[in-house]
Amino acid sequence: MKFFIDTANLNEIKEAYDLGVLDGVTTNPSLMAKEGISGEENIKNHYKAICNIVDNNVSAEVIATDLEGMIREGEELAALDDKIVVKVPIIKDGIKAIKYFSDKGIRTNCTLIFSPGQAILAAKAGATYVSPFIGRLDDVSFNGLELIEQLVLIYQNYGFDTQILAASVRHSMHLIQCAEIGADVATCPLNVITGLLNHPLTDKGLAQFLADHKKSNG
Ligand code: E4P
């Protein structure tokens, strides 16, 4: 399973990259706003800065919701760096834009997926990734992980190349369960990735090893 970090914060991206286990970054307009990034040029420069940190797979979301606007923005974003994946919402013009980008060899991430039907449409249009938001489904008493299971089965049934990018991953158990089910990618905040390190027996065992070493070595 690939690990993407879900943030526009350069320090967090760098910290995750330095761990040596990071495969990409997802951003969205809310995450960009959280970092105080605004204005077309600043936004583009910020994407370039992210691309300079990581090796590949930087999702940059279009703001337009009409086909012409999405195509214009998506082409501009894709031209910034080969690492850019154009993020497009699952709406009617979004599907048309994904088909357009796919025919042109521009990678896409179809976002705001909450149902299997939406994911089928995105795959048929040629999306590189689909982003089912599991945490937001859990928030409204639907089972986010169940959606991942459905998508894994459906994509296997028809041999779709589209990769399932589990998004809105809120805690380390989400991440582990996505891996069990067979999501291709999970995107999450830094603390969810580093949370995988935690085990009290590891802490206890290490403390014991160091204490024993100190006893016999002074
Ligand atoms: C995915 O690409 C989104 O940026 C993200 O995972 C949304 O997560 P949230 O529901 O925690 O905002």
Q: Identify any residues that bridge with 89 across adjacent strands, giving them in sequence order.
A: 111
170: amino acid identity, one letter: R
Which residues are known catalytic residues? 87
* pLDDT tens digit sequence for 19-54: 999 999 999 999 999 999 999 999 999 999 999 999
Mean pLDDT (the chain, rounded): 98
CA–CA dist 159, 196 (Å, integer): 31
Q: Whose CA is nearest to atom 7 of ligand 1?
A: 168
Asked whether residue 218 carries a pLDDT value surpassing 90, the answer given is no
* pLDDT value of position 47: 98
Q: Does the beta carbon of 2 lie inside 6 Å of ligand 1?
A: no
- Residue of 5, 28, 174 best suited for mutating to test ligand 1, as the one with most atoms within 8 Å of CB: 28
Q: Whose CA is nearest to atom 1 of ligand 1?
A: 167
Closest atom of ligand 1 to 139 CA is 10
Q: Does the beta carbon of 131 lie inside 6 Å of ligand 1?
A: yes
Longest dimension (CA), the chain: 72
Report the domain count for the chain.
1
* pLDDT tens digit sequence for 140-193: 999 999 999 999 999 999 999 999 999 999 999 999 999 999 999 999 999 999
On whether the CB atoms of residues 38 and 4 are closer than 8 A, the answer is no
At 86, phi and psi to the nearest 5?
-80, 125
Domain housing 26? 2-216
CA–CA dist 91, 133 (Å, integer): 15
Neighbours of 106 (CB within 10 A): 20
* pLDDT value of position 169: 98
Asked whether residue 14 carries a pLDDT value surpassing 90, the answer given is yes
CA–CA dist 46, 93 (Å, integer): 26
Question: How far, in Å, from the CA of 211 to the mean position of ligand 1?
Answer: 43
Closest atom of ligand 1 to 31 CA is 4
- Residue of 59, 148, 168 best suited for mutating to test ligand 1, as the one with most atoms within 8 Å of CB: 168
CATH number of the domain to which 170 belongs: 3.20.20.70
* pLDDT value of position 79: 98
The pairing of strands 58-61 and 24-26 is parallel
* pLDDT value of position 5: 98
Give the H or E element holding residue 2.
strand 2-6
Q: Does the beta carbon of 6 lie inside 6 Å of ligand 1?
A: yes
SS3 state at 123: helix
* pLDDT value of position 13: 98
End-to-end CA distance of the chain: 44
Q: Does the beta carbon of 151 lie inside 6 Å of ligand 1?
A: no
User: Binning pLDDT at 50, 70 and 90, where does residue 63 land?
Assistant: very high
